Amino acid sequence: MSEEEAQRYGGSAGGGGGGIGSLSVDLLGQVLDRVPEPRDRKACRLVSRAFARAEAAHRRALRVLRREPLPRLLRAFAALDRLDLSACASLDDASLAAALAGADLGTVRQVCLARASGVGWRGLDALVAACPRLEAVDLSHCVGAGDREAAALAAAAGLRELNLEKCLGVTDMGLAKVAVGCPRLQKLSFKWCREISDIGVDLLAKKCRELRSLDISYLKVSNESLRSISTLEKLEDLAMVCCPCIDDEGLKLLSTGSNSLQSVDVSRCNHVTSEGLASLIDGHTSLQKISAADSLHEIGQCFLSKLATLKATLTVLRLDGFEVSSSLLSAIGENCINLVEIGLSKCNGVTDEGISSLVVRCSYLRTIDLTCCNLLTNNALESIADNCKMLECLRLESSTSVSEKGLERIATCCPNLKEIDLTDCGVNDAALQHLATCSELLILKLGLCSSISDKGLRFIGSNCGKIVELDLYRCSSITDDGLAALADGCKKIKLLNLCYCNKITDSGLSHLGSLEELTNLELRCLVRITGIGISSVAIGCKSLIELDLKRCYSVDDSGLWALARYALNLRQLTISYCPVTGLGLCHLLSSLRCLQDMKMVHLSWVSIEGFEMSLRAACGRLKKLKMLSGLKSILSPELLQLLQACGCRIRWVNKPLVYKDAI
């Protein structure tokens, strides 16, 4: 059901009250289930009580952005399945516990608390107690979380998925708690939990026999862990990126184990060689994904011959950072005909012939990553276009020899193209003209292509209405007119990078104001824009979450006032080097209730009192701060302690104040 229909139903309900209200709640719920956009659902909810009731009864997922309405929301939606508190500003133990206390969360199965650094074990205790059917918890990037938090989660015996990525305080003890408390775990990630060692992993493997997916990346574990892991019969997905103590011996242990591995990631494991991978393939003949980026030093013949045994199953092969010859690529093409994705990023020796011999057999390829393979020319693009009709993603960053001719071929032969990265490829407006025929394009990266002008953007704007992400970093030829054409045609843009496009002025930003879905906007070093332009962005781009105004030397307090007034969803803001004062900063920080991440280096117009006041105003909400290290000793210690207690991390930088006038 489209937005219009929903609106119509809502409208009729508002008008007569008979039509919608007579439909059963179940039916309305069904209707709402078919409205994907939150914005549309909100419209329905607002115009009709019946819809509001239906949504209250049927809503499955809830993402809360602020702390204050949380108790009310939890009470209102009784049938919640997924609860996302990751963006909830100033959420802490007390508020979470209080909100949970009055709500019936018997149906909640998934809770996301990623980056909710204010929540500790008390809050998690309350959460686990309130949600008896909890199955998945995401606690990733809560860098302060440790064993007590893990222990609190371990009380949820039914847990199946747990993400502890970057919970830096979690040690073997916390892992053991989880392992004992949640025996039904199927998916677990403790990436970056560097305190976890072999014995923790061993206990985990003994207790959680149901594990299907495990991520031990960046851990200092050794082959002994792999020995334990190899006993997990149901394990399908194992990621061990950058585990420096793991080597071929460990992979051999895995190969003789009883896993049912389908996906393995040994990227940046420096001691893994192709022999180890070959032995791994030996033991697991149904592998589907192999990622070995930047780990193998060379690709041995044994590995290639083993690849042949995976002919039917292997779909993803990432070999970034190798010395790759044409013969090797043709061998891969021969052995892995079912490849869907191949990664050859930063591989030396990738030539046109190599790519041709690869793609001539791998016609199912959808994703080809050729980042920094700078020997490639249009010939490679032509062979890709001729063979891979289903191509969806092509990354060609730094391939300076490709031109509009090759891209024309791609654009005409691969109608499904969704993502193309042409960063630093030196393409021109003609290339964009060809690419614009790909109406399915979602992601377009044109950074550093300084020859692109408004003309090219007009092609994109006229045809690529679905674009979500557009990167125009340092495309310094584009002006306000180009932005006008873009904003006219590409209403779906969420991410837009205009850094160093220094011809852009306030009028260009006023065009951007029509992009209601824009969430991330980078305007670094646009020296001509002022508070007026910021105002139009703030007023128009209601979804704005992240804004980068670094070195926008003309943006002053008026810009901050506008942001404070309108950009209510703003979560991340960079205003380093901007000539703002303490007053503007204070007003901004006290008004924006979702703001969690501030970068404010070299705000030379802001007094110490200004910093003190504004930081105190935003104290409970801020999670990340970047400031000049000189302030560390000047700001009051109580304030800094307070910030830390609220889960805020401060990154102190020390760099000289240099005004760069762009490019």
Q: Which residues bind another protein (CB under 8 A)?
A: 147-148, 151, 154, 172-173, 176-177, 180-181, 199-200, 202-203, 206-207
Nearest 5°: phi and psi at 108?
A: -65, 125
Query: Cβ 176 to another protein, closest distance in Å?
Result: 5
> CA dist 528 to 298, 648, 661, Å?
50, 33, 11
The residue among 219 and 472 lying less far from another protein, judged by its C-beta, is 219
The residue among 181 and 647 lying less far from another protein, judged by its C-beta, is 181
Is-contact 421 449, C-beta < 8 A? Answer: no
Query: How large is the angle between the packed helices 352-359 and 326-335, nearest 10 degrees?
Result: 10
Q: Can you tell me the distance from the alpha carbon of 543 to that of 571, in angstroms, rounded to the nearest whole number?
A: 10
Is-contact 55 45, C-beta < 8 A? Answer: yes
Q: Which among 305, 308, 303, 282 is positioned nearest to 292, based on CA atoms?
A: 303
The residue among 50 and 152 lying less far from another protein, judged by its C-beta, is 152
Query: Cβ 213 to another protein, closest distance in Å?
Result: 22
Query: Cβ 162 to another protein, closest distance in Å?
Result: 16
Query: Cβ 87 to another protein, closest distance in Å?
Result: 30
The residue among 182 and 575 lying less far from another protein, judged by its C-beta, is 182
Query: Cβ 146 to another protein, closest distance in Å?
Result: 9
Amino acid at 156: A
The residue among 180 and 413 lying less far from another protein, judged by its C-beta, is 180
Q: Can you tell me the distance from the alpha carbon of 309 to that of 471, in angstroms, rounded to the nearest whole number?
A: 41
Q: Can you tell me the distance from the alpha carbon of 423 to that of 614, in angstroms, rounded to the nearest whole number?
A: 39
The residue among 174 and 461 lying less far from another protein, judged by its C-beta, is 174
Query: How large is the angle between the packed helices 480-489 and 454-463, nearest 10 degrees?
Result: 10
The residue among 177 and 395 lying less far from another protein, judged by its C-beta, is 177
The residue among 174 and 647 lying less far from another protein, judged by its C-beta, is 174
**What is the sign, positive or negative, of the torsion defined by CA atoms of 360, 362, 367, 372?**
negative
Query: Cβ 149 to another protein, closest distance in Å?
Result: 11
Query: Cβ 421 to another protein, closest distance in Å?
Result: 46
CA count, 13 A, side-chain hemisphere, 562: 22
Query: Cβ 210 to another protein, closest distance in Å?
Result: 16
Q: Can you tell me the distance from the alpha carbon of 44 to that of 7, in angstroms, rounded to the nearest whole number?
A: 6
What is the DSSP annotation of 465-481?
Answer: TT--EEE-TT-TT--HH
Q: Can you tell me the distance from the alpha carbon of 61 to that of 217, in angstroms, rounded to the nearest whole number?
A: 30
Query: Cβ 123 to another protein, closest distance in Å?
Result: 17
The residue among 31 and 201 lying less far from another protein, judged by its C-beta, is 201
